[in-house]
């Protein structure tokens, strides 16, 4: 059949169907289908973990920005949650931190917006009584 008449032959029809099928099945890198968030290798929280090693207000100094102080407060208030979270800024790879909680046992988060943001998110969700699994999913979605 002629292509100018608006009709196509059987071979071209099958070829177009195969192309559409291939695009539908394998073309998911298209921006219309965003990749799912990457899951971080979240550690298991240690049994009976406490916030005893999280830096105190006195150690930090009262002149720190509110956001920094709030992040450390979240670590003090929810140590069992932060100990079950991978630090999305990946300082754990650079400094050997096993979890987000361990970051707050050092001065590192005072200058790291990533640690601060993740602790803020975890604290907000923990306050809403979300489970560790829910908080991990939120971290993966936000930073993965």
Q: How far apart are CA 117 and CA 139, in angstroms?
A: 10
Rounded Cα distance between 2 and 21, Å, is 25
pLDDT at 97: 77
- Give the C-alpha separation, 55 to 106, whole Å: 7
Start-to-end Cα distance in the chain: 52
Extents of the domains making up the chain? 1-35, 57-143
Closest CA to 123 of 51, 62, 52, 57: 51
pLDDT in the model for residue 80: 97
Asked whether the beta carbons of 99 and 82 are under 8 A apart, the reply is yes
Per-residue pLDDT of the chain (144 residues; tens, 9 = 90+): 444 556 767 766 666 655 555 555 555 544 555 666 678 899 999 999 999 999 999 999 989 999 999 999 999 999 999 999 998 887 655 566 789 999 999 999 999 999 999 999 999 999 999 999 999 999 999 988
User: How many CB atoms within 10 Å of residue 132?
Assistant: 20
Q: What is the pLDDT of residue 62?
A: 86
pLDDT confidence of residue 139: 95
Cβ–Cβ under 8 Å, residues 68 and 60: yes
* Token pair of 18 as six digits: 């195969």
């Amino acid at each position: 059949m002629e292509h100018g008449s608006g009709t196509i032959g059987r071979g071209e029809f099958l070829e177009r169907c195969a192309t559409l099928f291939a695009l539908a099945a394998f073309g998911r890198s298209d921006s219309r289908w965003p990749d799912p968030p990457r899951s971080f290798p979240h550690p298991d929280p240690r049994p009976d973990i406490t916030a005893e090693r999280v830096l105190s207000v006195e150690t930090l100094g009262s002149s720190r920005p509110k956001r920094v102080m709030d992040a450390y407060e979240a670590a003090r208030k929810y140590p069992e949650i932060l100990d079950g979270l991978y630090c999305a800024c990946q300082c754990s790879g650079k400094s050997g931190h096993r979890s987000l909680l361990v970051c707050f046992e050092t001065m590192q988060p005072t200058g790291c917006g990533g640690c601060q943001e993740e602790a803020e998110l975890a604290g907000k969700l923990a306050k809403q009584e979300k489970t560790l699994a829910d908080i991990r999913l939120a971290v993966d979605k936000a930073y993965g």
